[in-house]
Amino acid sequence: MANQPREQWATRTGFLLAAIGSAIGLGNIWRFPAVAYENGGGAFLLPYLIALLTAGIPLLIMEYTIGRRYRTSPPAALRQMARPAEVIGWWQVAISFVIATYYAVIIAWAVRYVGFSADRAWGDDPEGFLFGSFLKASDTPGFVSGYVSGVLWPLIAVWVVVLGILAFGIRRGIEKANKVFIPLLVIFFVALVVRAVTLSGAAEGLDAFFSPDWSELANGSVWVAAYGQIFFSLSIGFGIMVTYASYLRRRADLTGSALVAGFANSSFEILAGIGVFAALGFMAQAAGVPVGDVATAGLGLAFVAFPTVISEMWMGGLFGVVFFVSLVIAGLSSLISIVQVVVSAVQDRTGMRRVPAVLAVGGAVALASILLFPTNEGIYLLDASDHFINQYGIALAALVGVIAVAWLMRKLPELQRDADATSAVRLGHWWRICLGVITPVVLGWMMVDSLRAEFDENYEGYSTDFLLGAGWSVAIGALLVGVLLSLIPWKAAEGGLSDLGLETAEEQGAHRRHGRPDSGSGTSDGREDR
């Protein structure tokens, strides 16, 4: 491992498709439409766009620059910026581990619903079918009491596919998979949206989605929701983009790539909003109720509302297959990127080769996923884990990370020079202002707002004991794991130098002396600049 050059993306397009595939996930399809509808409809697009430009894209550029500059996983990259910062990198790795365990289960549900759509297996009661016949959910939240074979087997299949793709590496595995996944996803989803907007009642649904309520712009919670949507949908704050950018060539355009990935993700979200609300308009007309009565989000939208739509429309089975295949593709491209964060960090930490690392680390994630979630209580564990790791894992790690980089280490000018050296769009003072002021203030306010709601009322009315065991302990445990892993001495090489692509003794010596890659940022490395 010590003499192996770091893997690289074959093309910029390959990197962009992988980055876009990571960002476009289940949340784009089932979270954004409801968040926009509940926060001013068409008027929500204004704070959403401002959040994208002042927080989402600046953070993407920062993570791309850190990954490309240090050419290693988040723990090693942050370690090289400042030794104590390594804990933030391991914290992000632990967060990725947790998210991967339950994210795979939702994909497994979608796999089963592809088959269910063909004969509309849910009958007249999609909700009862989901929680009763399919998930066999227990009446009350708790911990594992029994396994559900109908979820277990597709979950195992999902993990076999994900680990198989990861074992092939960056170019032959992740890049090639996304070159298939993303065009397929676009084709399927465009077909789905075209069908949705031709349904009777679609106009009412789109009117509900886009009608602006400008008075909502004076509501602070709308702005918090806009920034929250951007943070959670762009795959920033938990190491994915640092990891993916670490496989870039030294001369890669960073700001241009961030703009393409950010706007592609937002375009897909708006497309999803059109498709979802057109379908909900049809559902509302069929039921004779206002669109607001059927508008929902998350699991309820995908596995209850959409099956209802499918049951009521002509050729609904085909519509359902396209919808759930789209969910599977979007989920797989995101899950691959999440597991890659863990695999890459362990490779850098131990010097393991890819296949053993995928089998050992990916296998551990898969095992945890299989043991905990295809169970009678899996839906409750998933719900609590997802809420707490998002609110007090991703968002808090992003806040600590940006404060550490911008305020404590004062690395923004250095990173800006690095990004500007190879990017078509040069960064100005706005970039440092966004990351040094706007992003920390907004993330800090989001954290205060979330904690206030948390202590006012238990999440979803769950018991305090359950939330302590399945929610708070997961979020706090991820932080503690990060601290413990950061205390273990590096064995493979100092700061992961073996995997930085610094192949000569002179390069590694310069890196150790200055705590940064070769100052030529690629100009001295002709092979990588080609």
pLDDT at 500 over 90: no
- In order, the DSSP letters of 143-173 are S---B-HHHHHHHHHHHHHHHHHHHTHIIII
Q: Per-residue confidence at 453, pLDDT binned at 50, 70, 90? A: confident
Helix axes 316-350, 12-23, angle to 10 degrees: 110
Q: 363-413 pLDDT, tens per residue?
A: 999 999 999 999 999 999 999 999 899 888 888 999 999 999 999 999 999
Q: 475-490 pLDDT, tens per residue?
A: 999 999 999 999 988 6
pLDDT at 436 over 60: yes
pLDDT at 331 over 70: yes
Mean pLDDT value across residues 302-329 = 89
Helix axes 74-81, 57-70, angle to 10 degrees: 80
Q: Per-residue confidence at 3, pLDDT binned at 50, 70, 90? A: low
Q: Reduce the secondary structure of 41-103 to three states and give it as a string.
A: HHHHHHHHHHHHHHHHHHHHHHHHHHHHHHCCCHHHHHHHHCHHHHHHHHHHHHHHHHHHHHH
Q: Per-residue confidence at 40, pLDDT binned at 50, 70, 90? A: confident
Helix axes 220-233, 439-456, angle to 10 degrees: 110
Per-chain mean pLDDT for the chain: 88
Percent of the chain residues past pLDDT 90, beyond the cut? 62
Mean pLDDT value across residues 112-120 = 92
Mean pLDDT value across residues 447-470 = 89
Q: Reduce the secondary structure of 226-241 to three states and give it as a string.
A: HHHHHHHHCCCCCCHH
Mean pLDDT value across residues 247-251 = 91
Phi, psi for 21 (deg, rounded to 5): -60, -35
Residue holding tokens 């863990």? 342
* pLDDT for residue 509: 54
Whole-angstrom distance, CA of residue 88 vs CA of residue 274: 38
Give the lowest-confidence range in 253-257, 263-267, 420-424, 508-512: 508-512
> What's the Cα-to-Cα distance from 290 to each of 208, 276, 293, rounded to whole Å?
9, 15, 6
Mean pLDDT value across residues 122-132 = 92
Cβ–Cβ under 8 Å, residues 436 and 406: yes
Taking the C-alpha atoms of 290, 296, 300 and 306 in order, what is their torsion angle to the nearest 10 degrees?
A: 60
pLDDT at 216 over 90: no
Give pTM, 2 decimals. 0.89
- One-letter amino acid at 51 equals A
Give the lowest-confidence range in 222-226, 321-325, 414-418: 222-226
* pLDDT for residue 451: 87
Give the lowest-confidence range in 168-172, 297-301, 363-367: 297-301
Give the lowest-confidence range in 63-67, 276-280, 407-411: 276-280
For the four alpha carbons of 180, 182, 185 and 186, in that order, the dihedral sign comes to: negative
pLDDT at 524 over 50: no
Q: How far is CA 106 from the centre of its chain?
A: 14
Residue 375: beta bridge partners? 147
Whole-angstrom distance, CA of residue 204 vs CA of residue 160: 43
Select the more confidently predicted residue: 146 or 109.
109
Q: What is the DSSP letter of 375?
A: B
